[in-house]
């Protein structure tokens, strides 16, 4: 995901130092993606404590900022479906893709833990199907949002004619803001579906019960990203 250009010193051709087999440039990428996941998760968990009109804007700003500020690290993925899309397009090796996806999930759980320390785990947000909306409808809504979200990301960060533009973060942030205006859909992030492990439910057993009615928050984003990657 990261370029190998050395930006840490005056000589771009100088050897990049390594730590445990990972060069510092790659380590910088890893920490950035992890921190983005923590911030996005923290904001999502705290949505019930924000004014309704501010919540989608906060999510959009955090996602857009992650992409814009992470451009020099390789695109600022901050979402497992972006990792998967780049892997399917041959831009990430399998080991690297797994590492990034796993770190994003761990960062999401850690962000939820921090939010729980602030407000309490029982009152923080996690994806759940809206009343009166079927599971199938929610799945297709997640698929549609994730398809558009991934496609926008790939276009503004990877296409040669626009990848150097300054509006990549704005485009991604605007799309995510629009998607999350609709209650209980538009999550477009399978890592956030893991928030039920720590928020509002009774541990692992509650999470398993939750999966029976919330599988679409995992399956929908994955299916949408698969379609967008073709």
What is the predicted pLDDT for the residue at 161? 47
Residue 12 pLDDT: 38
List, in sequence order, the alpha helices (H) in the chain. Answer: 24-45, 54-69, 80-88, 94-119, 135-158, 168-180, 190-193, 203-214, 216-228
| Residue 200 backbone dihedrals phi, psi, to 5 degrees | 70, -10
What token pair was written down for 209?
A: 């019960």
Q: What is the pLDDT at residue 76?
A: 67
Beta-bridged to residue 22, according to DSSP, are 19
Q: How far apart are CA 208 and CA 224, in angstroms?
A: 24
Tell which residue, 138, 123, 122, has the closest CA to residue 187.
138
Please give the average pLDDT of every successive group of 10 residues along the chain, which has 230 residues: 41 43 68 86 84 78 80 69 90 86 91 85 78 87 91 76 62 82 71 79 66 83 92
Strand-pair partners of 19: 22
Backbone phi, psi, residue 131, to 5°: -60, 135
Q: What pTM, to 2 d.p., does this model score?
A: 0.79
């Amino acid at each position: 995901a990261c370029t190998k250009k050395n930006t840490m010193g005056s000589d771009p051709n100088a050897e990049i130092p390594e730590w445990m087999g990972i060069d510092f440039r790659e380590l910088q990428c890893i920490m950035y993606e992890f921190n983005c996941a923590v911030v996005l998760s923290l904001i999502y968990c705290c949505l019930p404590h924000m004014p309704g009109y501010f919540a989608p804007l906060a999510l959009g700003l955090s996602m857009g900022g992650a992409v814009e500020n992470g451009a020099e690290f390789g695109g600022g993925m901050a979402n497992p479906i972006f990792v998967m899309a780049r892997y399917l397009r041959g831009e990430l090796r399998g080991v690297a893709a797994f590492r990034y996806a796993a770190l994003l999930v761990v960062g999401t759980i850690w962000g939820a833990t921090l939010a729980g320390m602030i407000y309490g785990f029982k009152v923080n947000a996690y994806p759940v199907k809206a009343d009166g909306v079927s599971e199938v409808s929610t799945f297709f809504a997640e698929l549609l949002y994730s398809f558009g979200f991934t496609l926008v990301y790939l276009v503004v960060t990877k296409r040669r004619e626009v990848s150097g533009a300054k509006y990549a973060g704005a485009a991604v942030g605007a799309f995510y803001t629009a998607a999350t205006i609709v209650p209980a859909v538009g999550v477009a992030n399978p890592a956030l579906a893991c928030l039920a492990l720590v928020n509002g439910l009774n541990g692992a057993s509650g999470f398993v019960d939750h999966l029976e009615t919330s599988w679409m928050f995992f399956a929908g984003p994955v299916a949408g990203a698969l379609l967008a990657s073709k």
